[in-house]
Amino acid sequence: MTDEGRQVVETLMIVHQDAMACVQGLSEWLAEGYLKALPENIQSASGFPPGTQLLAERTAFGRVLSLLASLARSHTVDIRPGIINVVYKGLIRVLERAALLMPSAGFWTACFDGQALANAMLQKAEASLHELFALHGDPNLTPSRLSLCPCSHGLTTCCSVIQS
């Protein structure tokens, strides 16, 4: 590898490590700090009407959760083995805490696009299964039945069948 190439790789490594540290820090802050302190903060916020305070807290939290979910989705689509695990673990830790504090269905749909993330994860799992068949199975059997759907619905068997 040339010096120039090594430099690029080293830079990328630094960026990658920084990104991981950032995500890890974010999830720890959310799970251990922010969310843990949230009930106390709400109770002790005497200067604010409780409803307004709660709404503000939820809105702020929702933004962060939305960011984390979006990060998880983009890393799922474009797999980066090192970072994706950290992102998922962070997100799930946050969800664990959030489920207790933010049970409102409206809140979830507003700030956490779980469907998009679940779709991305399912598409990756299906792609792996497809690859497995391509490696070992009967190539005539599977591709038309287990192909990723290119339509806007994401992963849908009906569309792939129609195409076949």
Partner 1 sequence: MKTDENGAKQIKLIRFFISHLSSLLRHAPHALVPSETLPAALTLFARIKSLVQPCRPCHSLHQQLASSSRHELSTHVSPLLDALVHSLLTSTLLQPASRLLFIQQLCQPSHIRGAAQSPAHQLDAAVEAEAEADAVACDDAAGRLALAQSALNHVGTHTEDVQQAFVSCLPHLFDLLQSAAPHCLLLSSAGTKSERISSGLDTAEPPQEEEADLLFRCSVMMGALLSVVSGKLRSEALRTIVSQVLSVLIAFPSTVMSIDFLVSVWLRGSHAHVHLHFS
- Residue numbers at the binding site for partner 1 (CB under 8 A): 76, 88, 91-92, 95-96, 98-99, 103, 105, 108-109, 112, 114-115, 117-119, 121-122, 124-126, 128-129, 131-133, 135-138, 140-141, 145-146, 149, 153-158, 161-162, 164
Dmax over Cα atoms in the chain, in whole Å? 69
**CB within 8 A of 56, min separation 6: which ones?**
48
Residue pair 93/106 in contact (Cβ under 8 Å)? The answer is no
Cβ proximity to partner 1: between 52 and 85 the closer is 85
Residue pair 118/126 in contact (Cβ under 8 Å)? The answer is no
Nearest distance, CB of residue 4 and partner 1, angstroms: 31
Report how far residue 146's alpha carbon sits from residue 127's, in angstroms, rounded to the nearest whole number: 8
Cβ proximity to partner 1: between 64 and 146 the closer is 146
Nearest distance, CB of residue 18 and partner 1, angstroms: 23
